[in-house]
DNA sequence: TAAAAACCGAGTAAGTTACTTGGTTTTAAT
DNA sequence: ATTAAAACCAAGTAACTTACTCGGTTTTTA
């Protein structure tokens, strides 16, 4: 019942882009450094997020990545599905074309897994990147010592 | 976000033992046949369930397996934990000794995974094998054609 | 004593994961 | 025009996991 690092890192990276959301793109290198992820590996994950339409990229010097939509409009569920595929504790209750077994109509275990799937999807789809950013600000207020990976905001 | 077949088959097998719950042990062979699981593989899964204290075994001819407790006292969560380990979408929110990263105190993604973990555990721990048996009877009443893997109950 | 059953340990093919390596292409700044 | 910074791309790979199989031994009942 584990996520792979794709989903784990994918959310970290997207959250990083949300915390640093603005008009300018964020370099993959800086995300990788802040989030402590191998740069080349994160590149592959970013490609998946881009193909899923969750981030846009800007090529060339001063380029980088930006969220394709504002943080409020991106749900954790979108990210997890992009990185891990349809939510499905077992294949026969996959959100997308579940496989049928001969007893699927009467299978009680299947009903259990369907409930698990729905509860996971419910949680993931109820949390937006914006929710996470606001949560982060709350923590920052109670303990200003931690900067939560936000790019240097102070005057230059 | 997938269970392995261990959890999948493990629940099927336990549900089978619950449907056929009684004073006599059920042979692994019959469970394997009804549930369409490789006999030798199921043997290994049964060993895990036995070590977790969820089933008792009776050796020798006419032997087999019986639930260690009545179906009402066995939750799906017990079975999944026995087969798949502690519930943990990512390692750092494992139910059992979660690994710490340097930011765990302030990590927002971690809070998301903790919520996922709690919702999964909540569903799994709210369903007992007895619940599943009752659900099965309900379906049997609406459509008597399907026998839901229950051992032949008719007169001998 | 034979058969039925659980128990046990080792092997294994295929797939997945979490990367790394070594580039090419695009673009802004100089 | 050149340089450097960045995204983009394809392939390889070591380690691990999964889902089994194989070939037995031991226990117990009929």
Confidence of residue B150 (pLDDT cuts 50, 70, 90): low
pLDDT tops 60 at residue B114: yes
Which of the four pLDDT bands, split at 50, 70 and 90, describes residue B101? confident
DSSP 3-state assignment of A128? strand
Q: What is the distance between the alpha carbons of residues B18 and B74, in angstroms, rounded to a whole number?
A: 10
Instruction: Kindly determine whether the C-beta of residue A65 is less than 7 Å away from any atom of nucleic acid strand D.
Output: yes
The pTM of this model reads 0.92
CB A47 within 8 A of CB A9: no
pLDDT score recorded for residue B141 = 86
A contacts of B146 (beta carbons < 8 Å): 103, 105-106
Residue B41: CB less than 7 A from any atom in strand D = yes
pLDDT in tens, A116-147: 999 999 999 999 999 999 999 998 888 766 66
CB contact under 8 A, B90 and A116: no
How many interchain CB pairs under 8 A, A with B? 104
Average pLDDT of the residues in A82-98? 94
Angle, helices B39-51/B28-35, rounded to nearest 10 degrees: 120
A156, pLDDT greater than 80: no
What is the tens place of the pLDDT at every residue in B56-100? 999 999 999 999 999 999 999 999 999 999 999 999 999 998 888
With a pLDDT cut of 70, the percent of chain B lying above it is 90
Nucleic strand C within 7 A of Cβ A41: yes
Check CB contact under 8 Å for A109 and B119.
no
Report the b/e string of B73-106 with b at 16+ CB within 10 A.
ebbbbbbbbbbbebbbbbbbbbeeebeeeebeeb
Asked if A123 lies within 8 A of B119 by C-beta distance, the reply is yes
Q: Left if phi > 0, otherwise alpha if psi is -120 to 50, otherwise beta: which for B149?
A: left
Instruction: Verify if strand D has an atom below 7 Å from the CB of A23.
Output: no
State the Cα–Cα distance between residues A151 and A139, nearest whole angstrom. Answer: 16
Q: What angle do CA B127, B133, B137 make, to 5 degrees?
A: 130
Q: What integer pLDDT is reported at residue B155 of this predicted model?
A: 35
Q: Are A74 and A129 in contact (CB under 8 A)?
A: yes
Sequence-ordered alpha helix ranges (H) in A52-128: 76-84, 108-126
pLDDT at B153 over 60: no
CA distance A38 to A76: 22
In this predicted structure, the answer to whether residue A153 has a pLDDT above a threshold of 50 is: no
In chain B, at which residue ranges do the beta strands (DSSP E only) sit? 55-58, 64-67
- Indicate the average pLDDT of chain A: 92
Work out the pLDDT band at B146, boundaries 50, 70, 90. Answer: low
Choose the closest CB to A90 out of B8, B89, B108. B8
How far is the CA of A38 from the CAs of A5, A32, A42, A46, B77, in angstroms?
Answer: 11, 6, 6, 12, 35
pLDDT in tens, A5-27: 999 999 999 999 999 999 999 99
> Residue B68 to residues A150, B56, B84, B125: CA-CA distances in angstroms?
53, 5, 19, 17
Q: Which residues does chain B have within 8 Å of residue A143's beta carbon, measured at their own beta carbons?
A: 106
Give per-residue burial for A23-40: e unless 16+ CB within 10 Å, then b.
Answer: eebbebeebbebbebeee
Residue B152, pLDDT above cutoff 70: no
B105 touches chain A (CB under 8 A): yes
Position B151 scores a pLDDT of: 58
Look up residue A99 and give its DSSP letter: P
| Cβ-based contacts of A116 with chain B (< 8 Å) | 120, 123-124
Please state, for a pLDDT cut of 90, what percent of chain B lies above it: 81
Distance B138 CA to D29 C1' (A): 38
> A151 pLDDT band (50/70/90 cuts)?
low
Measured CA to CA, the distance from residue B58 to residue A18 in angstroms comes to 58
Q: Is the pLDDT of residue A66 over 90?
A: yes
Residue B154: per-residue pLDDT: 38
């Amino acid at each position: 019942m584990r996520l792979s690092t794709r989903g784990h890192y994918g959310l970290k990276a997207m959250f990083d882009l949300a915390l640093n959301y603005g008009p300018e793109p964020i370099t993959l290198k800086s995300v990788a450094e802040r989030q402590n992820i191998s740069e080349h590996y994160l590149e592959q994950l970013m490609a998946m997020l881009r193909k899923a339409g969750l981030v846009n990229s800007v090529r060339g010097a001063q380029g980088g990545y930006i969220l394709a939509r504002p943080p409020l409009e991106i749900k954790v569920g979108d990210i997890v599905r992009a990185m891990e595929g349809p939510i499905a504790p077992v294949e026969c209750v996959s959100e997308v074309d579940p496989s049928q077994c001969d007893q699927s109509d009467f299978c009680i275990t299947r009903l259990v897994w369907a409930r698990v799937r729905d509860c996971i999807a419910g949680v993931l789809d109820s949390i937006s990147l914006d929710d996470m950013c606001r949560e982060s600000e709350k923590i920052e207020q109670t303990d200003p010592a931690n900067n939560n990976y936000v790019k240097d905001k102070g005057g230059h």
